[in-house]
Amino acid sequence: MSQSLPTPRDTEAKLQHILLHSARIFAEDGFEGTSIRDISRATGISLSGLYYYFDSKQRLLYLIQNNTFSFIVTRLQERLEDCDTPVARLRCLVQNHIEYFLTHPNEMKVLSHEETALDEPFRQGIAAIKRKYLALARKIFDGVVAESPNQGLNARVAVLSLFGMMNWVYQWHRPASDPGAEELADTIVSIFLYGVAAAPRQGKNLSEHVPAAVHYD
């Protein structure tokens, strides 16, 4: 009996399995240092089995990066539906981002370290979804600033500084002793909104702005 093609459900689960383990291997050994054969070993899927999902290491790296940004953006858009103030929307952005990357450190490392490893046309594809995410963040930021007295800030620098606070977390976060996603999101939002010298409110108040935390599986 010939082997039947995987059902759509199996295909998606298997793809997620491949992306998860490939991200781990790329994070550990680097994109350059990893072969398709290494991916096959790490995922337990044969070379021809892998070929069903991607035809090159470039496409695999693209799939990891695209899958990550798509998930983050989609989840953020869902969460924003329950946020009705500018500050609540900002907190959604930060908590969504930090929750994802605290639970996906390998993907974080692959995104930041292998950004230049991607060739065209894949690079443009990722640049497009990153632009979409950044535009969403900028819109949230503009909403906050529209209500504030501090309109002289360079918005691009401010938004990217916020991403800096969030994206650097993977470099220093120790799960055993450092705060979890929710407290981290509170602290970062508090600093970003009010600074360390002027902050009129603490994390607890910020938490009131958002619906109950949604946790990733």
Tokens 């996603």 identify what position?
181
Report how far apart, in Å, the C-alpha atoms of 213 and of each of 4, 91, 201 are: 41, 11, 20
Residues 6+ apart with CB under 8 A from 183: 203
How many residues make contact with a copy of itself (CB under 8 A)? 50
Question: With CB under 8 A as the contact rule, which of the stretches 35-43, 71-79, 98-106, 170-178 interacts with a copy of itself?
Answer: 170-178
Q: How far is the CB of 212 from a copy of itself (least distance, A)?
A: 22
Tell me the backbone φ, ψ of residue 186, rounded to 5 degrees: -60, -50
> Is residue 176 close enough to count as binding a copy of itself by CB under 8 A?
no
Tell me the backbone φ, ψ of residue 29, rounded to 5 degrees: -110, -5
CA separation for the pair 145, 86 (Å, rounded): 9
208 CB-contact burial (10 Å; exposed 0-12 / middle 13-18 / buried 19+): exposed
| Interface with a copy of itself in residues 48-77 (CB under 8 A) | none
Q: How far is the CB of 161 from a copy of itself (least distance, A)?
A: 4
Smaller CB separation from a copy of itself, 18 or 184: 184
8 Å CB contact between 111 and 68 = yes
Binding mask of the shown chain, residues 80 to 119, with x at each position contacting a copy of itself by CB under 8 A: -------x------------------------xx-x----
> Is residue 148 close enough to count as binding a copy of itself by CB under 8 A?
yes
Binding site for a copy of itself (CB under 8 A): 29-30, 32-33, 87, 112-113, 115, 141, 144-145, 147-150, 152-154, 156-158, 160-161, 163-169, 171-172, 178-179, 183-184, 187-188, 190-200, 202
